[in-house]
Amino acid sequence: MLLSSVILVLQETLEVALLVSMLAAVSHRLNYSMSWLPWGLCGGFVIAVLYAVNMGSIAVWFDYVGQEVVNAFAQITIAVILVLLPWTICSDENRHSLLFQWAAVIVLVLSIGREGSEIILYLDGFLQQEGKVQAVLVGGGIGFSIGISVAILLFYGLVGLPRKLGIATPILLLALFAGNMLAQASQQLTQADWLHSTGALWDTSGLIPEDSMSGQLLYALIGYESNPSLIQIIAYLAGTTLLLLVAASAKFWSTRASLQK
Amino acid sequence: MNVICKRSIPALLMLLLPLSLFSATPVVEIEIKDHLFLPSEIVIPADTKIKLLIKNLDPTPEEFESYELNREKVIGGNSKTVIFIGPLPPGEYPFFGEFYPKTAQGKIIVQ
């Protein structure tokens, strides 16, 4: 019981924790205020509790696929905001700092709300059973701590990069994250039968199983899926490419603007 | 002309209704009881979309998860839910309950 709670909480924590470290690395590099972090964490916690408490009634929406639709909506929103985020980064003007803060808060609230609600539902199930609470809380605590540790490692790794790579690397990771979000949203909508189901294009489960440690880490970091469908791949590429295009054009316009000054 | 119109209007209206009302998507029921899937083995035809109707009879929530099927969904205690799977090629597709993985194990056999 201890081990499965370590794994479950780690899985749910890792994705959000890595997102926080990417955003924090960008924020740190640009000397933006970090005030988005406490707001995002608190807001996310509130939304996670609300989502968990109302899961029963949300689940029956749209003929029992409410959960998929809400998750997909959250994931698409996260992807859209992340795609636009480079516009607030690749410019020196002050007002963009505030836009970045807002974008980061919304993205965090939605991510924590979705993943956090699963942890809350999981823990709540054990609170009803006597004798198991302690093991599950200890396991969950260990999983949570591992997730946070990996995120701190990533943050210092990104912050320690040479100046030229210091923005490009987190932007690239955020681009993959945006692709991951759109791919997950397409998976949720396929599961709900709102999108036509297409078969798996390839299967790399023999190479890197999704339930292995590397599989889980790759899933959280770049959305690794061992047997993705065509729709998932298109969604992934769309999210990643769009973010990189926005980043490139923001860079182009800010360079042009500074040359004209 | 009039006759054709009268006949085709209901037909056109039917097209506007959600496909799910008319679709022959086969439904397969699975129950969760004492953190076990019942039945734990399900045989379904290849290349067919299936609607899994999962009833959680336990008071605790469970998460249906399958890497092979690319599916995951939380199911509240004492409630039911729907997950669409397929069309799939023949093979075995294991699934498990992520909240109680030691006991909640099963597989879908596609043939």
**Cβ contact, residue pair A4, B61, below 8 Å:** no
Q: Are B26 and B47 in contact (CB under 8 A)?
A: no
A110-149 residues touching B, CB cutoff 8 A: 118, 121-122, 124-126, 128-129
3-state SS assignment for residue A130: coil
Q: Are A138 and A126 in contact (CB under 8 A)?
A: no
Bridge partner residues of B56 (DSSP): B32, B79
Q: Are B27 and B58 in contact (CB under 8 A)?
A: no
Give the whole-angstrom CA distance, residue A147 versus residue B111. 40
> Residue A39 is encoded by which pair of tokens?
């707001």
Q: Are A134 and A94 in contact (CB under 8 A)?
A: no
**Cβ contact, residue pair A210, B67, below 8 Å:** yes
**Domain enclosing residue A237, as ranges:** 2-260
Give the whole-angstrom CA distance, residue B87 versus residue B45. 9
Give the per-residue pLDDT at B23: 59
The number of folded domains in chain A is 1
Topology annotation, domain B23-110: Immunoglobulin-like (2.60.40)
Chain A residue nearest residue B103, CA to CA: A1
Whose structure tokens read 């919304």?
A: A106
Q: Count of H helices and E strands in chain B?
A: 2, 9
Give the whole-angstrom CA distance, residue A194 versus residue A186. 9
Phi, psi of A124 (to 5 degrees): -60, -35
The predicted model scores a pTM of 0.90
- The residue extents of the domains of chain B are 23-110
Give the per-residue pLDDT at A86: 92
Using CA atoms in the order A162, A167, A169, A170, what is the torsion angle rounded to 10 degrees?
130
Whats the size of chain A, residue-wise?
261
Give the per-residue pLDDT at A131: 82
Cα A31 to Cα A35, A97, A169, A255, B82: the distances in Å are 12, 9, 17, 19, 47
Chain A neighbors of B88, CB-CB under 8 A: 199
Give the per-residue pLDDT at B1: 45
The whole-number mean pLDDT for each consecutive block of 10 residues of chain A, a chain of 261 residues, reads 88 95 95 95 98 96 97 98 90 76 97 97 88 91 96 96 92 96 97 93 94 90 92 97 94 83 71
Q: Are A96 and A253 in contact (CB under 8 A)?
A: no
Give the whole-angstrom CA distance, residue A187 versus residue B64. 15
3-state SS assignment for residue A229: strand
Give the whole-angstrom CA distance, residue A142 versus residue A6. 6
Q: Rounded to a whole number, what is the distance in Å from the CA of B6 to chain A's nearest CA?
A: 32
Give the whole-angstrom CA distance, residue A124 versus residue A118. 10
- A245 Cβ neighbours under 8 A, 6+ residues apart: none
Chain B within 8 Å of A2 (Cβ-Cβ)?
no
Nearest to A28 by CA among A155, A143, A139: A155
**Cβ contact, residue pair B86, A197, below 8 Å:** yes
Give the per-residue pLDDT at A221: 86
Q: Rounded to a whole number, what is the distance in Å from the CA of B38 to chain A's nearest CA?
A: 20
Give the per-residue pLDDT at B8: 59
Chain B neighbors of A197, CB-CB under 8 A: 49, 84, 86-87
Phi, psi of B36 (to 5 degrees): -125, 145
Using CA atoms in the order B84, B86, B87, B88, what is the torsion angle rounded to 10 degrees?
-170
Whose structure tokens read 């960008």?
A: A26
Q: Which of B63, B82, B87 sits opposite A63 (nearest CB)?
A: B82
Q: Residue A41, Cα to own-chain centre: how many angstroms?
A: 13
Residue B26 per-residue DSSP state: -
What mean pLDDT is predicted for residues B40-45?
A: 97
3-state SS assignment for residue B87: coil
